[in-house]
A and B are shown apart, each in its own frame.
Chain A
Amino acid sequence: GAGVSQTPSNKVTEKGKYVELRCDPISGHTALYWYRQSLGQGPEFLIYFQGTGAADDSGLPNDRFFAVRPEGSVSTLKIQRTERGDSAVYLCASSLSGGKDEQYFGPGTRLTVT
């Protein structure tokens, strides 16, 4: 079946603008994760959804970052008042039911803030 998909693949925005990044998880997966990967670093956890609710948002760096998953499938990561330091690859992953289940990653969205 189809894997995790993310759109757009690349996004260039100006400092101060608002952006939305979309993630389509594998069908039937209840758990969804967002990570951020800066150049030369491993991915860093941002937020974890179980169904429609954010079960762990401890990785969100500040209140400019917000994510939703209103119907328990597609998720949107929203960044307000973007800063140059937000430039990174944003990765989405899903797993069947969370916990110890294997996570499957999407190709990522490369965000560049100019």
Chain B
Amino acid sequence: KQEVTQIPAALSVPEGENLVLNCSFTDSAIYNLQWFRQDPGKGLTSLLLIQSSQREQTSGRLNASLDKSSGRSTLYIAASQPGDSATYLCALENQAGTALIFGKGTTLSVSS
């Protein structure tokens, strides 16, 4: 059974710092991996989707990498801003391709 773990559970950084959020998974036979952002009391916003044949995706100040062999993905945020404060969730498709399996998330706080 696929399990997704996100470390750290919470992170506080000053504005301008570069940071890395980690996601690990137990079954390397994955399809897509998605990173989402969730603001308090809100739904999920998709940030980046990495297909299984890809190693990374970039969007603006965000870069996500995927290493299937080691069961890891990282989300790199450059030059963090207070508006980046949110919970970041990592999710993988299940083997049947019918659902996403989520980690518990990393709650990021960026102070000005």
Contact = CB atoms under 8 A, between A and B. Distances in A.
Interface of A: 4, 33, 35, 40-45, 48, 55-56, 59, 91, 93, 98-100, 102-108, 110
Interface string B17-46: 000000000000001101010000111111
Interface stretch (B66-74, B78-86, B89-97): B89-97
A34 to B, nearest CB: 10
Nearest to A33: B99
B102 A43 contact: yes
Interface of B: 4, 31-32, 34, 36, 41-46, 49, 51, 89, 91, 93-94, 96-105
Given A41-B104, A104-B46, A56 B98 contact: yes
A100 B31 contact: yes
